[in-house]
Structure 1
Amino acid sequence: MHMRMRSPARAAALATVLTLGLALPAGALAAPASAASLSVSTPATARGSGPDAEALRAALAGLPDADATAALVRVGGTGDGWRGSAGVHDLASGRAAEPDARFRAGSTTKAVTAAVVLQLAAEGEVDLGRPARRYLPDLVPRTYEHVTVRQLLNHTSGIPAADGTGTTFEEWYAHRFDLHSLREMVADATARKPEFAPGTEQHYLNINYTVLGLLIERITGHSYEQETARRVFAPLGMRNTCFPGTDPDIRGPHNHGYQAVAGADGTTEYRDVTVWGTTDSWAAGAMISTTADLERFLIALFRGRVVPQPQLTEMFTLPAGVPGATMSAGLQRYVTPDGTELWLKSGGRWGYNSVIAATRDLSRTLVYSVNSTDAKGQGMNPVGARIAQAAFIR
């Protein structure tokens, strides 16, 4: 399913990673006040019911802490916007976090992939109700001949996950520079029996979007990276958004990501996981971006400037007849305790958690990147949860 070959660039990256981890007790994350200070900007926009600036400042207070080393936040919508950053660029220097840093956007990539597929549907190149096998007969076997493109988009395909490179952080870390074959990943997954009949349940898995990425390439005759750049990034001016391919580095200004690893002696090691290959996630989660670029995408998407109607409706429609479904084509529906309906997409790569979220009418928008010390952990990062709660206070 994956190839343990290393390109020259990866071999060089292995040799030049100098800071693999800092063995620090948890309390050692307290950085100098000057380095960890909060940077805030509140642009003068149309006056109205803007975000609660005090609550947002409080959400970022105290970084770095045991949950996150940095955070970048943009809140917009009706009234004034709010921009903030906190924490450190890296633990070794304690330098203040880069407010316009690039980061691994994780599964927010899926919203971009879904948008490209829906554009192709609008152009008549793809029929969402047709089986994916009609477009990829050499890749999707007869076992999955009834799985439609729409079911891949909303995670109701029943295709199980492919084998990963491990079940623990240490196993994943040991294979962080492995090169993965996309076709082998799909072959591995589709060689297994279905988890459920297509369209009857919902199980969020990257494999659905790996198939969709390959479908985009088959339909257009161009690489997935070329199509996303041509159809989404370039038209929206997302100049700091890209796919790294086989390069394990984040090119350009960025803040380091860390994973907290418990030591046998009771200390916590904050291991630098910034340099990490992403060929396993590709169209499901390999994108590198900034909060400004993702905010631009989020607003344009919801306004219908990326995906035309009626295809945009797919992104705000849950699959019918599927108990407990919360995911649409590329997005997820969430209702806050006060009844506000949000449409969002979250993402997680080692060292980085991200979210794009908004009300359907764009009266409130949120984009954040949190340098989480347990980005793959169960539940929402506490810093991210505080940010989200503060952003949608009414």
Structure 2
Amino acid sequence: MKARTCLLVAELVAGVTAGPSALPAAASAPAASSVAQSPNPALDAALAGLPHADATAALVRVGGKEGVWRGSSGVHDLRTGRPADPAGRFRAGSVTKVFTAAVALQLAAEGRLDLDRSARSYLPELIPASYGTVTVRQLLDHTHGIPAPDLPGTTVEEWYANRFQVHDTRDLVRSATSKKPEFAPGTRQHYLNIGYQITGLVIERVTGDTYERQVARRVLRPLGLRDTYFPGTNPRIVGPHNHGYQRMRLDDGTLGLRDVSVWGATDAWAAGDLVSTTADLERFTHALFGGRLVRGSLLEEMFTLPKVTDFRSGEPAAHSVGLSMKVLGGREVWGKTGGRWGYNTAVAATRDGARTLVYSVNSTDAKGRDMNEVAENIMVAVYGRP
């Protein structure tokens, strides 16, 4: 570790509430590879040296016919310095969207949901006429043009102060749809949570059931995902989990790390509140890419990018229904990343499922503008560079 980074880590950890004044002894432990049919020194290097300024722990599972690798590094928490639990639960963030998309596509296969029908036709009391032409497919591929709702706070410190606030999804939809469209539906792409929050409500309307029960009945139980659940209004992660930390200003005005493991997720709901494990997400990824959850032309919706440009960058659209795509190592890699305070998560695979990846990185700036360095190194080690 470079001297500058060591100094920064010492400064950050010193600011953790009820935390140590120096890095725990366990921090020097190398990444643990419990299965190594395909040894990968780059993965060992990506996980080595945790905790440090960017992350306190990392859990990784690589699978598929090209080989298997599993590893964990870092600490369960900075106070005790215990090694990270490789089976620990974590907040999966926007990986939730893949589950939501899978359920919506299942309902489309059953003829209960029409992707080309307007969201307003399902929720006429909630979606105003100004968004009357937005279709369900546009909700799912982020081409709807609905802006983000207003949420309290503009800084991480303000968001932390409001971490226990319970948000009603319908109120968030009203907030978003009270504004002018960002663009005409189907003409641009802007990745936001709001489309999936509305999709969750559409799922409830067409099934007469809760979104959570539909995901459990259609995905969690059939696949045996026993460590995956929706937290609802409970801000705590139930069961074993590695603590998440966020760099922010502390009460004394200094920069340090706060334990943000306890934080409500009702602002995200069907767009990002899932709690899971790397083992469960790996099983889900294999089932999804293998056509066990969604089949035929509807599965292809998840691997088809809309022919529009990004609202902000002007680059070609990178998000499909539920997934996104990036060329790494000369081949297409499809998947989804997610970020909740203290936790960065990803599921990814080549289209044929020959190489899959699931990781959870306890990032100290999980919602930062740039990708976490540990997470990026993991992705590059598994698939290669862009």
Provide TM-score, normalisation by structure 1. 0.89
Matched, 1:115 2:102: yes
Flag structure 2 segments of 5+ consecutive residues without an equivalent. Answer: 1-12, 310-314
Q: Secondary structure at the match of 1:255?
A: coil
C-alpha deviation, 1:30, in angstroms: 3.2
Secondary structure of the corresponding residue to residue 356 of structure 2: strand
The equivalent of 2:337 in structure 1 is 346
What is the deviation of 1:393? 4.0
Kindly indicate whether residue 376 of structure 2 is the aligned counterpart of residue 376 of structure 1.
no
Deviation for aligned residue 1:36? 4.0
- Preserved contact between residue 26 and residue 74 of structure 2 (Cα < 8 Å): no
Opposite residue 39 of structure 1, the aligned amino acid is A
Structure 1 Cα separation of the partners of residues 195 and 362 of structure 2: 27
Q: Quote the Cα distance in structure 2 between the aligned partners of 1:32 and 1:202.
A: 47
1:55-94 → structure 2 map (5 Å cutoff): 55-94=42-81
- The one-letter amino acid of 2:383's match is F
In 1, Cα distance between equivalents of 2:142 and 2:31: 39
Instruction: Compute the TM-score of the two structures, normalised by the length of structure 2.
Output: 0.91
| 1:38 is aligned to 2:31 | yes
The residue number in structure 1 matching 2:220 is 233
Residue 4 of structure 2 corresponds to: none
My pick for the range that moved more, 129-138 or 254-263, is 254-263
User: Which residue of structure 2 aligns with residue 290 of structure 1?
Assistant: 277
In structure 2, give the amino acid aligned to 1:324.
Answer: P
- The question of 1:173 aligning with 2:160 is answered yes
Q: Is the 8 A contact 1:37 1:96 kept in 2?
A: no
2-side partners of 1:28 and 1:344: how far apart? 39
Q: Where do residues 298-317 of structure 1 align in structure 2 (5 Å cutoff)?
A: 298-317=285-304
SS in 1 for 2:95: helix
Q: What is the CA–CA distance in structure 2 between the aligned matches of 1:203 and 1:223, rounded to whole Å?
A: 27
Deviation, structure 1 residue 263: 6.2
What is the aligned partner in structure 2 of residue 390 from structure 1? 381
1:8 maps to none
* Residue number in structure 1 paired with 2:10: none
Residue in structure 1 matching 2:306, options 319, 333, 339: 319
Distance 2:360 2:140 in 1: 24
| Deviation string, structure 1 residues 130-186 (Cα, Å, up to 9, x no partner) | 111111111111000100000000000000000012110011000000011111110
Aligned residues: 367
> How much has 1:121 moved relative to structure 2?
0.4
- Asked if 1 retains the 8 angstrom alpha-carbon contact of 2:16 and 2:258, the reply is no
- Structure 2 counterpart SS, 1:363: coil
1:47 aligns with none
| Residue deviations 1:28-68 (CA, integer Å, cap 9, x gap) | 66331477442211165xxxxx4x52111110010000000
Partner SS for 1:80: coil
Q: Which residue of 2 aligns with 1:3?
A: none
Q: Which residue of structure 1 aligns with residue 198 of structure 2?
A: 211
Q: Please tell me the root mean square deviation across aligned C-alpha atoms, in Å.
A: 2.1
Q: Is the 8 A contact 1:106 1:285 kept in 2?
A: yes
| Structure 1 CA distance for aligned equivalents of residues 252 and 176 of structure 2 | 40
**Whole-angstrom CA distance in 2 between matches of 1:96 and 1:35:** 10
Among candidates 168, 189, 202, match of residue 202 of structure 1: 189
- Out of 97, 100, 106, the position equivalent to 2:87 is 100
TM-aligned CA distance change 1:24 to 1:125, over 3 Å: closer
1:35, 1:88 within 8 Å by CA — same for their partners in 2? no
Identity %: 60
CA contact (8 A) 1:36 1:64 kept: no
The answer to whether the aligner puts 1:222 opposite 2:209 as a matched pair is yes
Is this contact kept in 2: 1:165–1:172, CA < 8 A?
yes
Structure 1 residue 139 corresponds to structure 2 residue 139? no
Q: Indicate the residue corresponding to 1:18 in structure 2.
A: none
Amino acid at match of 2:24: A
Partner secondary structure for residue 94 of structure 2? helix
Q: Secondary structure at the match of 1:280?
A: coil
Residue 250 of structure 1 corresponds to which residue in structure 2? 237
Kept in 2: contact 1:351–1:374 (CA 8 A): yes
Rounded to whole Å, the distance in 2 between the matches of 1:330 and 1:34 is 36
Q: 2: distance between equivalents of 1:34 and 1:159?
A: 45
Q: Which runs of 5+ in 1 are unaligned?
A: 1-20, 45-49
In the alignment, the residues of structure 1 paired with residue 308 and residue 262 of structure 2 have an alpha-carbon distance, to the nearest angstrom, of 42
CA distance, structure 1, for counterparts of residue 303 and residue 205 of structure 2? 26
Matched residue, 1:361: 352
Matched residue, 1:12: none
Structure 1 stretch displaced more, 73-82 or 268-277: 73-82
Report the Cα offset of residue 262 of structure 1.
4.8
Q: CA deviation at 1:212?
A: 0.2
